[in-house]
Amino acid sequence: MRWKSLLQPGWLALTLVVFGFAVTCYTVLAPWQFDRHAERKAQNDAVSTSFSEQPRPLEEVLPPGRSPGQDTEWRRVLIEGTYLPEHEVIARLRTVQGEPAFEVLTPFRTSSGRVVLIDRGYLRPDNGAVPPYAAPPDGVVRVEARVRADETDPQNRDAFADASTRGKLHAYAVDSRIVARSSGLDISPGYFQLTEGQPGVLGALPLPTLEAGPFFSYALQWVAFGTMAILGWGYFTLRELKPGGVLSEERGGGTRRKSVAEMLAEDEEDHTAEESPVGSGGDTDSDTSRH
């Protein structure tokens, strides 16, 4: 049977590559982009909702023991208490509006005794180092901030201090767990990003832009690539199984489909053969006229 030709090693390898690529497109690459689109949409919805909602007390939005989630992130909360600057940590290797920055993380003890982490905003590096900046206010203050979920350092590094940090503790992620380990404080999960004009704020961090991004179109492209790979495989399989195809059983003694190079060579030979008699006749006439 002609279909047995599909068991040739070369064609089996091609089939494996094509279907492996298609499966990767359908199960890994496209879902990855769909997930990123869903995350961006959830973030945009949360930020948009926060503009219209009034800030509420921290205990109402995030009771003790509850971590920030999709339903609470970016919401505005009111927190009353005192800063604990002696346990401050600097988040390094940050980027704000496309430029390098540091972020200042200061624990904050609320009036109820709970300790939370406040992101006071960003600083621009001064020759690569943390520039001088204002200390947070003393005494009891009331701040408005946005709820944020902890970042995660893939290497799970602790805060550190060395000659390059000039006596300040530095960390590689904005993570309440890192500050809790360095300070010994029992800090609630998540952190709180100060808004413009709040007590203790430095450079207020900008909000993310409310754009959907290209993720949905990228996901559709991966689906299309996987589909085209399968359709292309099917087309060439049927084409080559026909008489004369490279997979045909007749290729040993029957007709064989000519390659493009062979067809071009034949056209060149035919063209040369057509021009040769004309050229020969012209030479003969010239010789006759000379005699």
Q: Where are the domains of the chain?
A: 2-41+214-241, 55-194
pTM across the whole model: 0.64
Task: Check whether 21 has a pLDDT greater than 90.
Answer: yes
pLDDT digits (tens, 9 = 90+) for 162-214: 877 778 899 999 999 999 999 999 999 999 999 999 999 999 998 876 677 78
pLDDT digits (tens, 9 = 90+) for 180-189: 999 999 999 9
pLDDT for the residue numbered 1: 47
Task: Check whether 238 has a pLDDT greater than 60.
Answer: yes
pLDDT for the residue numbered 115: 97
pLDDT digits (tens, 9 = 90+) for 99-134: 999 999 999 999 999 999 999 999 999 988 999 999
- pLDDT band (50, 70, 90) for residue 148: very high
Task: Check whether 39 has a pLDDT greater than 70.
Answer: yes
- pLDDT band (50, 70, 90) for residue 286: very low
pLDDT digits (tens, 9 = 90+) for 131-147: 999 999 999 999 999 99
Q: Percent of the chain at pLDDT above 70? A: 80
Q: What is the DSSP string of the chain?
A: -GGGGGGSHHHHHHHHHHHHHHHHIIIIIHHHHHHHHHHHHHHHHHHHHHHHSPPEEHHHHS-TTPPP-TTTTT-EEEEEEEE-GGG-EEEEEEEETTEEEEEEEEEEEETTS-EEEEEEEEE--BTTBPPP-PPPPSS-EEEEEEEEPPP--TT-PPPB--GGGTT-EEESS--HHHHHHHH---BPSSEEEEPTT-TT-SBPPPPPP----SHHHHHHHHHHHHHHHHHHHHHHHHHHHSTTSTT-GGGTTS--PPPHHHHHHHHHHHHHHHHHHHHHHHHHHHHHHH-
